[in-house]
């Protein structure tokens, strides 16, 4: 069974640009979550999508957005990039509604903003 | 709001030493508690979990008990191996917020032969 796949794995952008990251969940999983991982802040929740609807959203500015498609694949977009957006962005999928849900993580997309 | 606090690292142990990584949580509801592990160059993966008070999660020789009275979920292993070197994250999720997980900042463990 294929795991969670994130693309691209590495990317470099400059301030002011925008970026789109992609995540393909485990087959059959309908929940996709995004996290930002930095050395100082650890893992911080960005948002979760379930059946194409945003179910939860963390405390990030509106520059961070996402969407989920009918096949459960998800994208997140960051507009007007800032230096502080440099981080590892992790996608996780889950096959349950979250009551005792386990998250399955991808290896992440490492974004560097210059 | 909900949050998780875990002991700062890094932690360095000799092989076969006893390991404890402390984790405490704050939650208004009845969360499920998790330990995730991130091996070098790999993604996070679930190590163990507990879904209600007094439950004990265990896997690969690691154990953690959900203690509601002390709001803790400390990770323990009786005899660590070099292959246990990784970053360990304590986390909680509350059924009311779906799959929104709150993670601790992570504890880096290095086991030396």
Q: Which of residues 12-71 of B touch A (CB under 8 A)?
A: 32, 34, 36, 42-46, 49, 51
What is the pLDDT of chain B when averaged over all its residues? 93
> Is residue B18 within 8 Å of B65, Cβ to Cβ?
no
Q: Residue A99: is its pLDDT beyond 60?
A: no
Per-residue pLDDT at A96: 59
Split at pLDDT 50, 70, 90, the class of A1 is: low
Work out how many CB contacts closer than 8 A connect A with B. 74
Integer Cα distance of B21 and B9 in angstroms: 9
Per-residue pLDDT at A37: 94
Per-residue pLDDT at B63: 98
> Is residue B76 within 8 Å of B61, Cβ to Cβ?
no
Nearest residue in chain A measured CA to CA from B48 = A102
Q: Tens digit of pLDDT for each residue in A56-89?
A: 899 999 999 999 999 999 999 999 999 999 999 9
Of A3, A31, A107, the CB nearest to B99: A31
What is the pLDDT of chain A when averaged over all its residues? 92
Report which of B22, B105, B13, B14 is spatially closest to residue B65, judged by C-alpha positions: B22
Per-residue pLDDT at B100: 85
Cis amide linkage into residue A8, ω under 30° from 0: yes
Per-residue pLDDT at A100: 52
Per-residue pLDDT at A39: 86
Split at pLDDT 50, 70, 90, the class of A97 is: low
Chain A partners of B97 at a C-beta cutoff of 8 Å?
56, 98
Chain A partners of B95 at a C-beta cutoff of 8 Å?
98-99
Q: What is the least distance, in Å, from the CA of B79 to any CA of chain A?
A: 26
Phi, psi of A21 (to 5 degrees): -115, 145
Chain A partners of B106 at a C-beta cutoff of 8 Å?
42-43
Cis amide linkage into residue A66, ω under 30° from 0: no
Q: What is the mean pLDDT of each run of 10 residues along chain B (113 residues)?
A: 88 97 92 94 92 94 96 97 96 80 94 96
Q: At A2, is the secondary structure helix, strand, or coil? A: coil
């Amino acid at each position: 069974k294929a795991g969670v796949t994130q693309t691209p794995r590495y990317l470099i952008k400059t301030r002011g640009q925008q970026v789109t990251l992609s995540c393909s969940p485990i087959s059959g999983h309908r929940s996709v979550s995004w996290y930002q991982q930095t050395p100082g802040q650890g893992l911080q929740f960005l948002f979760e999508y379930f059946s194409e609807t945003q179910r939860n959203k963390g405390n990030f500015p509106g520059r961070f957005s996402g969407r989920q498609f009918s096949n459960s694949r998800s994208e997140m977009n960051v507009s007007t990039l800032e230096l502080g957006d440099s981080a590892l962005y992790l996608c996780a999928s889950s096959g349950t509604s979250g009551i005792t849900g386990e998250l399955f993580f991808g290896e992440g997309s490492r974004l560097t903003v210059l | 709001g909900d949050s998780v606090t875990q002991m700062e690292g890094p932690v360095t142990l000799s092989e076969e030493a006893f390991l404890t990584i402390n984790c405490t949580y704050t939650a208004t509801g009845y969360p499920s508690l998790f330990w995730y592990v991130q091996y070098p160059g790999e993604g996070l993966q679930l190590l163990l979990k507990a879904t209600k008070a007094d439950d004990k999660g265990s896997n690969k020789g690691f154990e953690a008990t959900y203690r509601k009275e002390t709001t803790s979920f400390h990770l323990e292993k009786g005899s660590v191996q070099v292959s246990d070197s990784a970053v360990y994250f304590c986390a909680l999720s509350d059924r009311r917020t779906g799959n929104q997980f709150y993670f601790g900042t992570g504890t880096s463990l290095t086991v030396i032969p």
